[in-house]
Structure 1
Amino acid sequence: TACIGKWDVSNRKPIIPRMPNAQGFDYFYGALGANDAGVVQLHENNEPAGSTRDMGGLIKLYTDKSIDYLKNKRDPDKPFVLYLAHTMMHTIINASPKFRGKSKGGLYGDVVEEFDFETGRLLDTLDELKLIDKTLVIYTSDNGPWNQDKYTKRKKGHPAGSIFWGEAGPLRNGKGSPYEAGYRLPCIVRWPGRVPAGRVNDAVFATIDFLPTFASLCGLTVPKDRHIDGIDQTELLLGKRETGRDFFYFNKAGVRRGKWKYLRANAFFHGYAVEDDRPKVEELYDLEADLGERNNLAGKHPKILAELRALTSELEAEK
């Protein structure tokens, strides 16, 4: 098992019990946090491995390390897990000289194109090693864009265009908020012969569902001595059903069930969220008709509002 790239669950410090090698990974190479300071402190396993200010070289660096793991470090006679968490496209962004200025989307577009190219290199390696048909590949992200102007304007002394967070399109707000721009993300799954090709599904699947789903695919069960919030979504993943989880709980904020999304009046916003533009009232949205969450239907559907309010309280009380 290998973890390569960004590991941001040890307070950006080498706290050994929280680092990847103490959390089930045999090999680790990467950073213990983001790159928004313009420098990345690298570690290999539990040891410091230098630092870099070359943000434009990070995508290739992590891809090279991943390819090296696949070719030279894993046991070829055993199954493997490779968790590759790229830093890009997290501010401060940059592309390598090979890609800088090549896209029509500015520096951010250059980074996207380089990311696409390096992902292709990784898939080509799986093909070269004759692993492509028996490897489950999952491509997704962790949160929506962080479009906070105040923070962006504080960042000085970096290359033009390098302070950029992406865009939310029709979705409301961004990272740190309980609105859709904070949570709704694409997820691409590839597993020849197991996952139907070309299938598109908009059922609710949370990243916390990967743990029990992977366990199920391996013929294992999740531990019984602790509460696991994720659910087994194997049948959804393999195209054997089209529906996902019944509900999704937004921490200290509300819940989504089916097409309906409820937010309590005092819904929690993380400190790094886009400035909260909401009135302090309960909110109810029909996400099928109003993906941008602009038409509050709380006053028109009191029964649904009451049901989701109660479900939110029930889920919040769980330990």
Structure 2
Amino acid sequence: PIKLGGSPAKQTTWEGGHRVPALAYWPGRVPVNVTSTALLSLLDIFPTVIALAGASLPPNRKFDGVDVSEVLFGKSQTGHRVLFHPNSGAAGEYGALQTVRLDRYKAFYITGGAKACDGGVGPEQHHVSPLIFNLEDDAAESSPLQKGSPEYQELLPKVTRVLADVLQDIADDNSSQADYTQDPSVTPCCNPYQITCRCQPGE
């Protein structure tokens, strides 16, 4: 089994919303007392389970997750090089691409807009030139790289290219749309006393 931690506060695209420890236990397969720094994602669970089951993914779809069984088995430290993080409800427009992770760097294109503890909402800011953080040196994301620095200038075209690739990948995806308004079984729960939490006719 793989055990993940987390809470509703994990919706944010800042590192505090992404750094969730995961524990894997499989006697004889997963080595004990081993820590990996590979960059992994929840999206990797599905392809990994499929691979471990000896099955194959549908050939006509592209999956964002990858098979990370080699990482689990201690045979590799290679995870993702690139991850993108859409807003998952913490701030701004739901689904808007907020950050792009490239190796040890993370670029923010949208910040702000999150609800504070007092219920107030700060202004949402869009960054044409993104805020870029070196997570290896600044995991708290407290000091973005100076935009005039050589490090920032070297990274900006790489991050821009990665973002363009991500957006193109999304645009080319063979996504489908479903209309759930015709299916009463998917109506949001309206009776917490029902075991299946489904709305019944007349309620």
Q: TM-score, normalised by structure 1?
A: 0.44
Give the one of 227, 230, 250 matched to 2:65.
230
The question of whether the paired residues in 2 share the 8 Å contact of 1:213 and 1:233 is answered with: yes
Q: State the partner residue of 1:291.
A: 139
Q: State the partner residue of 2:4.
A: 140
Report the Cα distance in structure 2 between the residues aligned to 1:238 and 1:190, rounded to whole angstroms. 10
CA RMSD of aligned residues (A): 2.4
Greater shift, 228-237 or 274-283, is seen at 274-283
Q: State the partner residue of 1:313.
A: 164
The question of whether the paired residues in 2 share the 8 Å contact of 1:287 and 1:293 is answered with: yes
Structure 1 residues 210 and 298, CA, compared in 2 at 3 Å: closer, same or farther?
farther
Structure 2 counterpart of 1:314, which letter? D
SS at the partner of 1:213?
helix
1:257 aligns with 2:105: no
Report the Cα distance in structure 2 between the residues aligned to 1:224 and 1:304, rounded to whole angstroms. 34
Work out the percentage of aligned pairs sharing the same amino acid.
26
Report the Cα distance in structure 2 between the residues aligned to 1:179 and 1:314, rounded to whole angstroms. 22
Q: State the partner residue of 2:81.
A: 246
Q: State the partner residue of 1:202.
A: 37
Q: State the partner residue of 1:189.
A: 24
Give the one of 302, 306, 311 matched to 2:153.
302
Report the Cα distance in structure 1 between the residues aligned to 2:142 and 2:124, rounded to whole angstroms. 10
SS at the partner of 2:23?
strand
Structure 1 counterpart of 2:141, which letter? E
Structure 1: runs of 5 or more not aligned: 1-136, 147-174
Q: TM-score, normalised by structure 2?
A: 0.67
The question of whether the paired residues in 2 share the 8 Å contact of 1:203 and 1:245 is answered with: yes
| Number of equivalent positions | 152
The question of whether the paired residues in 2 share the 8 Å contact of 1:144 and 1:185 is answered with: no
Report the Cα distance in structure 2 between the residues aligned to 1:256 and 1:273, rounded to whole angstroms. 25
Structure 2 counterpart of 1:295, which letter? S
The question of whether the paired residues in 1 share the 8 Å contact of 2:112 and 2:125 is answered with: no
Q: How far does the alpha carbon of each residue in 1:207-245 deviate from its partner, in whole angstroms, 9 at most, with x for none?
A: 110111111111111111222111111111110011211
Q: How far does the alpha carbon of each residue in 1:6-33 deviate from its partner, in whole angstroms, 9 at most, with x for none?
A: xxxxxxxxxxxxxxxxxxxxxxxxxxxx
The question of whether the paired residues in 1 share the 8 Å contact of 2:84 and 2:100 is answered with: yes
The ranges of structure 1 where at least 4 consecutive aligned residues each deviate by more than 3 angstroms after the TM superposition are: 266-269, 271-281
Structure 2 counterpart of 1:310, which letter? R
SS at the partner of 2:11?
coil
SS at the partner of 2:43?
helix
**1:276 Cα deviation from its structure 2 partner:** 4.8
Q: How far does the alpha carbon of each residue in 1:246-285 deviate from its partner, in whole angstroms, 9 at most, with x for none?
A: 1111121121121111111x3586x668755786432101
Structure 1 residues 273 and 202, CA, compared in 2 at 3 Å: closer, same or farther?
farther
Structure 1 residues 144 and 311, CA, compared in 2 at 3 Å: closer, same or farther?
farther
Structure 1 counterpart of 2:162, which letter? L
SS at the partner of 2:132?
strand
Report the Cα distance in structure 2 between the residues aligned to 1:305 and 1:179, rounded to whole angstroms. 19
The question of whether the paired residues in 1 share the 8 Å contact of 2:47 and 2:66 is answered with: yes
